[in-house]
Amino acid sequence: MSSDQQQPRGPVDSSRIPRFAGPATFARLPRLDEVGRADVAVVGVPFDSGVSYRPGARFGSNAVREASRLLRPYNPAQDASPFALAQVADAGDIAANPFDIHEAVETVERAAGELLDTGARLMTLGGDHTIALPLLRAVARKHGPVALLHFDAHLDTWDTYFGAEYTHGTPFRRAVEEGILDTSALSHVGTRGPLYGKKDLTDDAKMGFGIVTSADVMRRGVDEVADQLRQRIGDRPLYVSIDIDCLDPAHAPGTGTPEAGGMTSRELLEILRGLASCNLVSADVVEVAPAYDHAEITSVAASHTAYELTTLMARRIAAERESAER
Ligand X SMILES: N=C(N)NCCCC(=O)O
Q: Please spell the DSSP secondary structure of 114-145, one letter per residue.
A: HHHHTTPEEEEEES-GGGHHHHHHHHHHHHSS
Contact indicator for 183, 207 with CB cutoff of 8 Å = yes
Cα 14 to its chain centre, rounded Å, is: 26
Contact indicator for 131, 108 with CB cutoff of 8 Å = yes
Q: Minimum distance between the CB of residue 172 and ligand X, rounded to whole angstroms?
A: 10
Contact indicator for 60, 287 with CB cutoff of 8 Å = yes
Q: How many residues bind ligand X (CB under 6 A)?
A: 12
Alpha helix positions (H), 208-264: 214-220, 222-233
150 is in an annotated binding site: no
List, in sequence order, every beta strand (DSSP E) within 172-278: 181-191, 209-213, 237-243
Residue 169 interface partner, choices ligand X, Zn ion, none, CB cut-off 5-8 Å depending on type: ligand X
Contact indicator for 140, 61 with CB cutoff of 8 Å = no
- Binding residues for Zn ion (CB under 5 A): 129, 152-154, 156, 243, 245
- 82 vs 256, beta carbon nearer ligand X: 256
Can you say whether the dihedral through the CA atoms of 321, 77, 282, 115 is positive or negative?
negative
Residue 282 interface partner, choices ligand X, Zn ion, none, CB cut-off 5-8 Å depending on type: none
Q: Is 243 in the site for ligand X (CB under 6 A)?
A: yes
79 is in an annotated binding site: no
- Restricted to residues 129-168, the positions that interact with ligand X (CB under 6 A) are 129, 154, 156, 168
Residue 52 interface partner, choices Zn ion, ligand X, none, CB cut-off 5-8 Å depending on type: ligand X
168 is in an annotated binding site: no
Bridge partners of 213?
191
- Restricted to residues 183-222, the positions that interact with ligand X (CB under 6 A) are none
Q: Is 52 in the site for ligand X (CB under 6 A)?
A: yes
Q: Is 169 in the site for ligand X (CB under 6 A)?
A: yes
- 154 vs 251, beta carbon nearer Zn ion: 154
- 149 vs 153, beta carbon nearer Zn ion: 153
- 75 vs 187, beta carbon nearer Zn ion: 187
Q: Minimum distance between the CB of residue 17 and ligand X, rounded to whole angstroms?
A: 36
Q: Minimum distance between the CB of residue 156 and ligand X, rounded to whole angstroms?
A: 5
223 is in an annotated binding site: no
Q: Is 259 in the site for ligand X (CB under 6 A)?
A: no
Q: What are the Cα distances from residue 3, in Å, to 33, 253, 265, 317, 323?
A: 24, 47, 39, 17, 16
Contact indicator for 298, 252 with CB cutoff of 8 Å = yes
- 288 vs 317, beta carbon nearer ligand X: 288
Q: Minimum distance between the CB of residue 297 and ligand X, rounded to whole angstroms?
A: 17
Q: Is 74 in the site for ligand X (CB under 6 A)?
A: no
Residue 74 interface partner, choices Zn ion, ligand X, none, CB cut-off 5-8 Å depending on type: none
State the number of CA atoms in the 13 A half-sphere of 156 facing the CB: 36
Q: Measuring CA to CA, which residue among 255, 308, 305 is closest to residue 285?
A: 305
Residue 39 interface partner, choices Zn ion, ligand X, none, CB cut-off 5-8 Å depending on type: none
129 is in an annotated binding site: yes
Q: Measuring CA to CA, which residue among 92, 111, 120 is closest to residue 31?
A: 92
Residue 30 interface partner, choices ligand X, Zn ion, none, CB cut-off 5-8 Å depending on type: none
Which run of H or E residues covers position 310? helix 297-325
Pick the binder of ligand X from 53, 98, 103, 220 (CB under 6 A).
53
Cis, peptide link before residue 127, omega less than 30° from 0: yes
- Classify 232 in phi/psi space as left (phi over 0), alpha (psi -120 to 50) or beta: alpha
Binding site listing: 129, 152, 154, 156, 243, 245
Binding site listing for Mn(2+): 129, 152, 154, 156, 243, 245
Q: Which residues form the interface with ligand X (CB under 6 A)?
A: 52-53, 129, 154, 156, 168-169, 243, 245, 256-257, 287
